[in-house]
Amino acid sequence: MLEKFLLDSLKDIYWAEKHLLKALPKLTKAATSPELKQAFTNHVEVTQEQIARLDQAFELLGKKAQAKKCDAMEGITKEAEGIIEETEKGTKTRDVALIMACQKVEHYEIATYGGLVQLTKTMGKNELSELFAQTLAEEKEADQILTDVAENNINIQAQAE
């Protein structure tokens, strides 16, 4: 039963990462600050590696890589796209809102990979647990980069608008 739950969780985050990969270019295009555009662009590459790591995880389990719709990621990215419609192009206000939306993505991923690290550790699947720990560290880093981008100017500039 736990094996099945693990596999379902993998399918869910597999879908989520792939969905994010499609959403990131839209967010990059909508962002104004070069630092924020850069942060989004960098996360595209990171996300591609994370998807490759998930392919490896399926392989280690002897299962075919398969995606199953993640309602949470669909909702969070929908919210991010809603922000683009509700804010004005070229404003720092939009950037602040985009950062907050993306940090929600990162926190969802942190919760997921944190859970997967613990679950696979408990199940004695150490190779899997190490794979997920690598991704977990990257998601935490992405979250921190977004905090730094917000604190270095964007929040203050948005307040002036």
| Residue 9 contacts Fe ion per CB under 5 A | no
Q: What is the CA radius of gyration of the chain?
A: 17
Instruction: Find the shortest distance in angstroms from Cβ 71 to Zn ion.
Output: 15
| Chain position carrying tokens 């399918």 | 11
Task: Select the residue interacting with Fe ion from 44, 72, 84, 133 (CB under 5 A).
Answer: 72
Handedness of CA 99, 31, 18, 134 (dihedral sign): negative
Quickly list H helices, the chain. 2-30, 34-60, 71-86, 92-122, 126-149, 155-160
| Residue 20 contacts Zn ion per CB under 5 A | yes
Give the residue with the Cβ less far from Fe ion, 17 or 93: 17
| Residue 12 contacts Fe ion per CB under 5 A | yes
| Residue 143 contacts Fe ion per CB under 5 A | no
Q: Which residues of 19-28 are buried (b: 16+ CB within 10 A; e: fewer)?
A: bbeebbeebb
| Residue 109 contacts Zn ion per CB under 5 A | yes
Sole window of 43-51, 55-63, 76-84, 123-131 interacting with Fe ion (rule: CB under 5 A)? 43-51
Binding-site partner at residue 139 among Zn ion, Fe ion, none, CB < 5 to 8 Å by type: Fe ion
64 close to 58: Cβ distance less than 8 angstroms? yes
Residues that bind Fe ion (CB under 5 A): 12, 50, 70, 72, 109, 139, 142
